[in-house]
Amino acid sequence: MTDNDPSAQDRHTPEPGTPEQPNPEAHTGSSEREDTERYREGGQGTDEFRYPPRTPIGDYAQGGYPTSPHTQSGYTAYSLGPTQSSPERRGMPGRLVAGVALLALLVGGGAGAATGYLAADTATESSAPNALNQPPPQARQTGNAPEGSVEAVAEKLKPSVVQLQVRGFGSANEGSGFILSEDGYILTNNHVVEAAARGGRITVVFHDGEETSARIVGRDPTTDIAVVRAENVSGLTTVELGRSDDLRVGESVVAIGSPYELAGTVTAGIVSSLNRPVTAGGQGDQTTVMDAIQTDAAINPGNSGGPLANMQGQVIGINSAIYSPSQGGNVGIGFAIPIDQARRTADEIIKNGHATQTYIGATVGNAPSGGAVIGDVESGSPAEQAGLKSGDVVVKMDDRRIEDANALVASIRTRAPGEKATFTLADGNTVEVTLGGQPVRVN
């Protein structure tokens, strides 16, 4: 157990007779300042003073950040989570905050009582206008939220967004998901539920606080998509799925999820960019490259698997990763899996129990002058049948410019097996490839 484990700090009980931790902001007299100086000189972390830090939420957040960076096209992306926790740590932020608030209330209450007593003898009523004498405004009308507002999107989506608590062998994670069907199918990220894939446990927490267990229906690490099914439920409120192929940079979006176990958190932003090749789930190789939607809506560890929605309340992406140069929280660069790709994968999982990956049957690398260079070509593969050869450099796929290998891989995976794509080579020649499909194998 490490020194910065907040669960360890929270469970510590001071020795009998240990003085309470002074609160420098609440104390005002000279004796209180002396207590504060003694605390600063060595109390924190000693046998005499073993109290949680004065900013428990910050320390708790440190435990939830991912640790496996990867670099794609100049971006270091981190999986959003799920947040790392344990059964003892669940709910801790609330307890710590409550404890600190109670300490401040008790100290401040005593000082306030004395001050109030003195003021009672000297207070004089002023005739100047005073805001405290103004009557409170009437309560706002409780009608429907304005159409197209963040409030309206939250009102529509929150009943369909869930928190997922995952327990595996030696690990405990939390993330988000959203309801696809009234009988319990839920879409989320593979990296949220992966820990429960070999005998673990998943608990679904609905927006009203009700809980039930869930099982994994199927998952696809290559696209970071998973489907789970809540047990013993019916009549659930489902999301409305939108489209991601007609998104525009600059349009407003809303994210909903459970960052740091704060279920039902709503944030808003815009689509910052489209077609960003990033690696899903923090794997750091081409096996999980996705063609992501970039957004500046605040998303953090625990938002993984939650919806990114347009202003009609339609889900257009699944929040999956953030760019975090110092392994910190949100810096305004988040990534979501486009719903068009996620929808196809989820449909295959529900119908067949597994997903199908689009491929061309050739390795690719970064060309020195830009583009993706074809490496080994498998015999009988779509790439060979189309006439692609080792050493060919692809600079465009249909109308999309290909800057590197990850861009080509991501572009291919956004398409369905059987579709045709035109590859433009660096020498100006074009090759038409009929994209193949193969079942995703999960260990």
- Which of 246, 258, 249, 356 is closest to 307 using CA atoms? 258
pLDDT in tens, 379-392: 999 999 999 999 99
**Active-site annotation holds for 427:** no
Q: How confident is the model at residue 327, as a pLDDT?
A: 59
pLDDT in tens, 89-144: 444 444 333 333 333 333 334 444 444 444 445 556 778 888 888 888 877 666 67
**Active-site annotation holds for 224:** yes
Instruction: Give me the domains of the chain, ranges plus CATH numbers.
Output: 150-352 (2.40.10.120), 356-439 (2.30.42.10)
Radius of gyration, CA atoms only, the chain: 27
Q: How confident is the model at residue 32, as a pLDDT?
A: 41
Weakest mean pLDDT among 9-18, 51-60, 193-202 = 51-60
Catalytic residue among 27, 191, 296, 324: 191
DSSP state of 44: B
Q: Which amino acid is at 14?
A: P
Token pair recorded at residue 430:
């074009």
Q: How confident is the model at residue 343, as a pLDDT?
A: 95
pTM of the predicted model, to two decimals?
A: 0.70
Q: How confident is the model at residue 345, as a pLDDT?
A: 94
Catalytic residue among 224, 340, 392, 404: 224
Catalytic residue among 244, 258, 304, 320: 304
* Average pLDDT for 277-297: 77
Residue indicated by tokens 């625990």: 302
Q: How confident is the model at residue 137, as a pLDDT?
A: 82
Q: How confident is the model at residue 403, as a pLDDT?
A: 93
Q: How confident is the model at residue 160, as a pLDDT?
A: 97
pLDDT of 280 over the 70 cut:
no
Q: Which helix (H) or strand (E) holds 212?
A: strand 211-220
**Active-site annotation holds for 369:** no
Instruction: Decide: 322 and 78 in contact? Cβ < 8 Å.
Output: yes
pLDDT in tens, 416-440: 999 999 999 999 999 999 999 988 8
* Average pLDDT for 80-88: 48
The answer for residues whose C-beta is within 8 angstroms of residue 44's C-beta and 6 or more apart is: 51, 53
Token pair recorded at residue 179:
């309801």
- The strand pairing partners of 267, in sequence order, are 255
What is the percent of the chain where pLDDT is above 90? 52
**3 state SS of 385:** helix
What mean pLDDT value characterizes the chain?
77
pLDDT of 70 over the 70 cut:
no
- Choice between 2 and 258, residue whose per-residue pLDDT is larger: 258
Instruction: Decide: 63 and 57 in contact? Cβ < 8 Å.
Output: no
DSSP H stretches of helix in 353-387: 382-386
- Which band of pLDDT confidence, cut at 50, 70 and 90, is reported for residue 328? low
- Which band of pLDDT confidence, cut at 50, 70 and 90, is reported for residue 284? low
pLDDT of 241 over the 50 cut:
yes
- Which of 340, 351, 29 is closest to 217 using CA atoms? 351
Q: How confident is the model at residue 5, as a pLDDT?
A: 43
The DSSP code sequence of 224-249 is TEEEEEESS--SPPPPEE--STT--T
| Start-to-end Cα distance in the chain | 30
Q: Is the peptide bond before 82 cis (omega within 30 degrees of 0)?
A: yes
* Average pLDDT for 306-332: 87
